[in-house]
Structure 1
């Protein structure tokens, strides 16, 4: 299975379409939320607005990430896409802060929201749009091999859950419990902040070169290649769609340089065939000498994505 470059034009066209839908959904929620004095609906609207902002940032990140390798970036520009996600997290934290300050103001100056059948109709309609966006973006992401689209679709799915919470708050107000409106808004703020934390955590793992693959998965692949006696110091870094692997192998100490070079190429081809996300493999060939002691291997846990997920792609 060979790694192929995804058609970025298709990814960008999808993001532009989703941006338009997200802005329409956000506008509907915010305007009706303000008109009906529903803090929860306004909060959910700003959450949807953050989705549109993330689409814009995603467009910028994907454009930068697709720049070819140059003299100053010999490993490419893939991490620009990851770096832009930190900006999305910052926006989400700002939105969460705005929601909380709005709730505090609402508690200090209580205003009972007006909940009608239209309130539920607006929420149900926007949830239907979000559900359609989630399904379309998720399928397109898998079809095009775009990790950004897949991740963004999961964020959209979280919006559906948030909207369900808003519906619960509206129902509470309708039942004579107006405090549920701002209580749900606080829950929404917490969900937004949690989403920001997840984005920061995942982005930091990539930017700080956390392990992508479990060495226990790579080890048997390398050992199965004729000529390899031992493998150790297996490391990986990068993104789950663009990963780098380096390792040490022990070989016959009398193996000619030409054959050692060929062996390194076969190791690289085997790993790329098994893990399509791998873009480069650095093999350090060492002679298997009598009495040679291997360094103690540290236990490495992949944090960007399980190895079997890459293998199954």
Structure 2
């Protein structure tokens, strides 16, 4: 299965999430307003933002399947990241609105105790989202899709949010009416936190940021490739769900062009096999005698 087929498979997870969110958001908002639960209403609005986020993921997956062209020689894979960035702004807006509404309810002179039925609605929704999370996590691991894995993590947070809403509602039934709007505030904070996390990861990827620890791991794999004497430079960046690597390796100057090319091929095979990275640009340079002596001295130096 190539990367375009994998992206196509990822659409199934996004569509499952959208379907679940449409049903649950309508159910939660109806039950929240009908049974006077601020926490369940906030959870319903949380799912509305999730519809937007999942739709953005779906649109991004669709666009990223377009093949490379003259304007996009590396393909359209970053459409996923841009869609996620747009979704983060929408989620932040809704999160702030939920916080304002919950704050007003918390400081109101009179608070209505929500009906216990709304707690059962929240718990049922939590069970549903837990099932969606397990499905998307399994699919994301199967096709190695980062966007779908992020959506799966969002599914899990939504399940936990619904559990929190149920706790607030049950607390109100036990003579703590302020616990329901407090749970709504917590939901609003979770929405804003999720929006910030998506915004940060998206902007980090779009500005060619890359995890330093992961880069060290990738460097170690290349250094262990037979024939590589040293790594002069290595860079990596995220392109949608793909990782692009540019590396300059130094080899024995006595090697032929064919032998040096075989080392490059072996690096590409190892990166694909160990890290599922298929976009590796390898530049080979001869190791100077001075550098060779320095490397030998370093290896012989006692620890």
TM-score bracket, normalised by the shorter chain, equals 0.7 to 0.9
Between 143-152 and 35-44, the greater mean CA deviation after superposition: 143-152
Query: Cα RMSD over matched residues?
Result: 2.4
Specify which structure has the higher proportion of helix: 2
CA distance in 1, matches of 2:7, 2:226: 39
Contact 1:37 1:111 in 2 (8 A): no
- Supply the distance in 1 between the matched residues of 2:207 and 2:49 (Cα, whole angstroms): 26
Runs of 4+ in 1 over 6 A off after TM superposition: none
Would you say 1:274 and 2:274 are equivalent positions? yes
Distance 1:39 1:151, change over 3 A: same
Indicate if the aligned counterparts of 1:264 and 1:283 stay in contact, CA closer than 8 A.
Answer: yes
Conservation of the 8 A alpha-carbon contact between 1:11 and 1:144:
yes
2:5 corresponds to: 6
Q: Which residue of 1 aligns with 2:301?
A: none
In structure 2, what is the equivalent of residue 256 of structure 1?
256
Distance 2:81 2:240 in 1: 11
Measured in 1, the distance between the counterparts of 2:72 and 2:240 equals 19
After the TM superposition, which of the residue ranges 121-130 and 74-83 deviates more from structure 2? 121-130
User: Which TM-score applies when normalising by structure 2?
Assistant: 0.87
TM-score (structure 1 length as normaliser): 0.84
Find the counterpart in structure 1 of residue 225 from structure 2.
225
Task: Tell me the secondary structure at the aligned position of residue 209 of structure 1.
Answer: coil
Contact 1:113 1:173 in 2 (8 A): no
| CA distance 1:287–1:12, shift in 2 (3 Å) | closer
Equivalent residue number for residue 297 of structure 2: none
State how 1:1-313 maps to structure 2 within 5 Å: 4-107=3-106, 109-212=108-211, 214-239=214-239, 241-276=241-276, 278-292=277-291
- The 3 A distance-change label for structure 1 pair 288 and 84 is same
Structure 2: gaps (5+ residues): 294-303
Task: Using the TM superposition, name which of 226-235 and 25-34 deviates more.
Answer: 226-235
